Structure 1
Amino acid sequence: MLADVSKNIFLHASNNKALNKAAKKWGLRFGASQVVAGDTIKSAIKKVQELNEKGLVCTLDHLGEFVSSRIEAIEATEYNVRTLEAMGSAGVNSNLSVKMTQLGLDIDRNFCVQNMCLILETAKKYNNFVRIDMEDHAHCQITLDILRELRETYDNVGTVIQSYLYRAEQDVKELKGIPLRLVKGAYQESPSVAYQEKEEVDENYMRIIEEHLLSGSYTAIASHDHRIIASVKEFVQKHNIPRNQFEFQMLYGFRTDMQLSLAKEGYTMRVYIPFGNDWFGYFMRRLAERPQNIAFALKGFFSK
């Protein structure tokens, strides 16, 4: 019960515009610096280089979402383009993740698509891949519609499917052949559209992982759950699924020992690295996911 209450508090905080605005002025506080790789492209690239040297591949995500002006969306698009250029110049092994509400999705659909095309053209120039991050349920269908439109021109783009949504299994079936990042989900969703019990979310998570793997599609399993990871290892071995058809993914700052262990075992292990000054919403969702993360944050705060 207490865990549910704290989860709701952090999820509500993640959507509070006043707190998000204030957090940009605070800088990385309350342990956030342990899970966010600084606020500049330079700091993010440095972290990627460090992780690459340890045998880990990465994905960079310039934090920010739900922008309300074209100027903000254009600035975010240009920043993502510069991030891709910096990765290309540095020669690091890293993809890019973007949120389309940061690129103007809530302002104008065609405007957002134009911004996505600019980013994908840049990524194509550097032979790189862009992941469209999945946001709340209200943006799910339009995200998938735009993905299909973009895939008609670009093969270097994929998206994310969240297992807590009832629709997840059908979406995975319809997205056969498209690289997907499969996650449990971190937004607060209604019982009308999403499973509320952990057991149900976990069961659906394994269903969509198995579905996508068996279809022959490239699958990114994004989880810190050692039981899920063990189940995936057993499943791919049983079905002779090659290791170049899937990868494990974890968040920067979490379970680093397991990340290194998976890489040493010969699995592709990708670390999702958020950066930027719009960190508050991301950090609140991480605190909401697991009660252990609260202790983690407090430890980081009091160690300053």
Structure 2
Amino acid sequence: MEAISKNFFLYLSNNSTFDRLAKRFGSKFGADRIVGGETFPMAIPLIKQLNHEGLAVTVDHLGEFVNSETEARARAQEGIETIQAIASHELNSEMSLKLTSLGLDINRELVIENMEKILEEAKKYGVTVTIDMEDSSRTKATLDIYKELKTRYDALGTVIQSYLYRSEDYVEELNEYNPYLRLVKGAYKEPGTVAFPDKRMVDENLKGLIKKNLLNGNYTAIASHDDAIIDYTKQLVKEHGITNDQFEFQMLYGMRYQTQLNLLKEGYKVRVYMPYGEDWYGYFMRRLAERPANITFALKGMFTK
């Protein structure tokens, strides 16, 4: 049943018709509990509150189905304005983005141009940018662009997904770039030819990636709500004498808040991934696919005021 529900919500996440309908109903589906708002200004008070509690943040302007150059350039401008707002409000926040929102499916030159504009602004204000990873059909293109840009922009990170067979190879390939990597399990529907079908294998692979990147001496973001992964990381850094300034835990906005605070009390750095924007639908569906418990969470949001 769990596999069926996961496949169902992953299918819905790629449906552009439902995406358009979702924009009309928004918070009725509980989206306001895991999304910071439809615009970045709406998210600013929430970020300030999280910062006040000691939590760092990374924001992501949600976007699915960007297929025009005009829209891709508009997304880049939004990114620039977000960086400026982070600086002007003195927020403890990084920015995450997807290359498809900047034109990856249109042409490579457009993405590079948009990324350069964003990264120049980020460099000016000292804001770190992380390139989110998408489905496996875009992994190579994403990493190639990351490598090219990382040679010129140091405060740039990317994401590796442990459900892919080649994840360990990717971590090794990136090592020479002294990468800032966010390590995650992965939330897209993938064929068995490229991804582990078994959750246990995905979990074990994630542990291996965490160990490899940390022992390589690279900054690592462990993006997981899984207690077993969190405990593994704590034990690993203790055994190898890795200091707390070489890694951080990352969790989604609106989920496991008390765990975030507990980790802070233990002396660990915690960053909250806060998405915002009208195009919240695809993100929301993938969160429902990840954990059956999130479905109940969403239904409560639909029927409570």
- When normalised by structure 2's length, the TM-score is 0.98
Corresponding residue for 1:87?
86
Q: What is the alpha-carbon distance in structure 2 between the residues aligned to residue 101 and residue 239 of structure 1?
A: 38
CA distance in 2: counterparts of 1:261 and 1:299, whole angstroms: 26
Secondary structure of the residue aligned to 2:157 is strand
Give the total of aligned pairs.
Answer: 303
Task: Give the 5 Å matches for 1:55-74.
Answer: 55-74=54-73
Aligned to 2:132: 133
Runs of 4+ in 1 over 4 A off after TM superposition: none
Paired amino acid for 2:122? A
Partner of 2:39: 40
User: 2 CA distance for matches of 1:173 and 1:303?
Assistant: 48
Q: Note the 1:225-304 alignment, pairs <5 A.
A: 225-304=226-305
**1:149-298 alignment, distance < 5 Å:** 149-176=148-175, 177-298=178-299
Counterpart amino acid of residue 141 in structure 1: K
Provide the rounded CA distance (Å) in 2 between the counterparts of 1:263 and 1:253.
16
State the SS of the aligned residue for 1:180: strand
How far apart are 1:44 and its partner, in Å?
A: 1.3
The aligned amino acid for 1:284 is M
Q: Which amino acid aligns with 1:7?
A: K
Q: Corresponding residue for 1:103? A: 102
Q: Which residue of 2 is the match for residue 4 of structure 1?
A: 3
Does the Cα contact within 8 Å between 2:16 and 2:65 map onto a contact in 1? no
Asked if the contact 1:131–1:158 (Cα under 8 Å) also holds between the matched residues in 2, the reply is: yes
Check conservation: 1:97, 1:131, Cα contact below 8 A: yes
Residue aligned with 1:236, SS: helix
Task: Tell me how far apart the structure 1 counterparts of residues 268 and 259 of structure 2 sit (CA, whole Å).
Answer: 11
Cα offset, 1:25, TM superposition: 2.2
Matched, 1:122 2:98: no
Q: Give the TM-score normalised by structure 1.
A: 0.98
Q: Which amino acid aligns with 1:40?
A: T
Deviation string for 1:261-280 (max 9, x for gaps)? 11111111000000000000
Residues of 2 paired with 1:99 and 1:262: CA distance?
Answer: 28
Structure 1 CA distance for aligned equivalents of residues 43 and 116 of structure 2: 23
CA distance in 1, matches of 2:23, 2:76: 19
Root mean square deviation, CA, Å = 0.8
CA distance in 2, matches of 1:27, 1:70: 26
Distance 1:65 1:78 in 2: 16
The structural deviation recorded for 1:83 is 0.6
Distance in 1 (CA, whole Å) between partners of 2:118 and 2:21 is: 29
* Residue 29 of structure 1, CA deviation: 2.7
Any unmatched runs of 5+ in structure 2?
none
Deviations 1:170-211 (A, max 9, x none): 111111120000000000000000001100000000000000
Cα offset, 1:49, TM superposition: 0.3
Q: Which residue identity lines up with residue 105 of structure 2 in the other structure?
A: D
Give 1:202's aligned amino acid: D
Q: Which has the higher mean CA deviation after the structures are superposed, 27-36 or 173-182?
A: 27-36
Separation (CA, whole Å) in 2 of partners of 1:256 and 1:98: 23
CA–CA distance in 2 between the matches of 1:107 and 1:175?
25
Instruction: Identify unmatched segments of 5+ residues in structure 1.
Output: none
Matched to 1:154, the amino acid is Y
- Kindly indicate whether the alpha-carbon contact (under 8 Å) linking 1:28 and 1:277 is maintained by their aligned counterparts in 2: no
